[in-house]
Amino acid sequence: MTIFVDADAFPNVLKDILLRFVLKRGIRTRFIANKKISIPDVAFISMEIAPQGVDEADHLIAFTCNAKDIVITADIPLADRIVSKGAIGLDPRGTLYTPENIKGLLAMRNLMQELRDGGEITGGPSAIGEKEKRAFADALNALLQKCV
């Protein structure tokens, strides 16, 4: 099992939480982004820079992940792609992407995008607070206990 991190938009406040889990358990983790981010110099943790372009990091993750891998992303279209491969998706706010919920989440995301494009809704999600950090840590811990 490998953990893939869609690192372009991964909140820094969650990186330390994730690293504590993977360092403790020695889990292979791949941070994938369009630009370099700092990670510990550990053999089983890598930073990979995707080709420049829209959604290139997402394409790399979707192409290289396998069934039973964990993909951490807030990108619902990417989550749809990886769930269809049998991978497990986890949102940075602690929501699991599953075959049972992904199509509904994708439809809601598309509706919200239309509303934003039409100017009916402005702004994005709220900042990551203590509640979201706790939800992410709890969901990640439960996943790792089940998968490792």
Query: Is it the case that residue 124 has pLDDT exceeding 70?
Result: no
Q: Are 148 and 69 in contact (CB under 8 A)?
A: no
pLDDT digits (tens, 9 = 90+) for 26-79: 999 999 999 999 999 999 999 999 998 889 999 999 999 999 999 999 999 999
Predicted local distance difference test score (pLDDT) of residue 118:
79
Burial class from Cβ neighbours inside 10 Å (0-12, 13-18, 19+) for residue 88 reads buried
- Give the N- to C-terminal CA distance of the chain in Å, as an integer: 8
Which residue has better confidence, 130 or 125?
130
Task: Tell me how far apart the alpha carbons of residues 81 and 23 are, in angstroms, rounded to a whole number.
Answer: 27
H or E stretch at 146: helix 130-147
Query: Is it the case that residue 114 has pLDDT exceeding 90?
Result: no
Above pLDDT 70, what percent of the chain?
A: 96
Domains of the chain: 2-147 (3.40.50)
